[in-house]
């Protein structure tokens, strides 16, 4: 169930309160992804982000990084639904910075503005998903909710809703989308041909058995 962004006040914790929460958090961690409190009050830790992308992403090869012009080393493909990635971040990192870091980690060439980070949480036996603002701090949300992803998890989705704004994509991106659609069409056509060829073979085999002189 998707809901509008929640108007939750950000509770500013004292250094001692943060320390206590981190100790409690770390005592409950089961995957060794603990948080660390630094002397300056900033803490670091890990968040897991589930990818729920409906459209293809454009990925750059490591050789083409840093170039402004599109190149043949960029490819587009559909990311498997439910793919989960782990990021090491600090309490000062914002949602926008987390999205940029996530895309950079996997050499995604798409504009970060096309994506949004959502939080998914359980309340009163229901699952709610709401969009986070660019200035919120995911690690703080993780600390307050605790380490259990059943209580809180993060999801990356396309920023746009409703109709796809194709004019927001570059020519190379659109060309990559067309190549993907052509390949999917070819693959589906081959699957149908194989299915009907097998069906035809079984029919011919059955006919031979019926027409065989007894």
Provide block-wise average pLDDT over 10 residues at a time, the chain (214 residues): 50 85 94 92 94 82 49 69 89 94 86 88 80 91 91 86 60 77 84 88 82 64
Could you give the CA distance from residue 119 to residue 139 in angstroms, rounded to a whole number?
Answer: 12
CB atoms within 10 A of CB 95: 21
Q: Where are the alpha helices (DSSP H) in the chain?
A: 15-28, 95-105, 138-145, 171-211
With CA atoms as reference, report the closest residue to 59 among 74, 71, 43.
Answer: 74
pLDDT at 10: 57
pLDDT at 168: 63
Find out whether 21 and 147 touch, Cβ atoms under 8 Å: no
pLDDT at 111: 83
pLDDT at 50: 92
pLDDT at 167: 65
Find out whether 98 and 105 touch, Cβ atoms under 8 Å: no
Cβ burial 4-36 (10 Å sphere, 16+ → b, else e): eeeeeeeeeeeeeebeebbeebbeeeeeeeebe
Written as six digits, the tokens of 159 are: 């920023």
pTM greater than 0.75:
no
Secondary structure percentages of the chain, helix, strand, coil, to 5: 40, 25, 40
Question: What fold characterizes domain 15-61+71-161?
Answer: Ubiquitin-like (UB roll) (3.10.20)
Written as six digits, the tokens of 206 are: 């059955």
CA dihedral of residues 80, 62, 110, 173 (deg, nearest 10): -90
pLDDT at 146: 92
């Amino acid at each position: 169930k998707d809901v509008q962004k929640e108007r939750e006040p950000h509770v500013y914790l004292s250094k001692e309160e943060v320390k206590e929460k981190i100790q409690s958090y770390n005592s409950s961690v089961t995957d060794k992804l603990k948080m660390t409190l630094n002397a300056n009050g900033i803490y670091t830790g890990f968040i897991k982000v589930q990818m729920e992308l409906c459209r293809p992403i454009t990925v750059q090869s490591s050789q083409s990084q840093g170039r402004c012009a599109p190149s043949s080393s960029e490819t587009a493909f559909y990311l498997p639904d439910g793919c989960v990635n782990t990021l090491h971040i600090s309490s000062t990192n914002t949602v926008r910075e987390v999205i940029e870091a996530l895309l950079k980690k996997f050499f995604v060439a798409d504009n970060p503005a096309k994506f949004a980070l959502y939080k998914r949480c359980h309340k009163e036996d229901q699952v709610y998903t709401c969009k986070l603002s660019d200035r919120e701090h995911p690690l703080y949300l993780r600390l307050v909710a605790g380490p259990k992803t059943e209580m809180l998890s993060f999801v990356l989705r396309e920023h746009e809703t409703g109709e796809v704004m194709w004019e927001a994509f570059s020519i190379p991106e659109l060309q990559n989308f067309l190549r993907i659609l052509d390949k999917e069409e070819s693959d589906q056509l081959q699957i149908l041909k194989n299915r009907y060829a097998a069906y035809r073979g079984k029919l011919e085999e059955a006919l031979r058995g019926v027409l065989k002189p007894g």
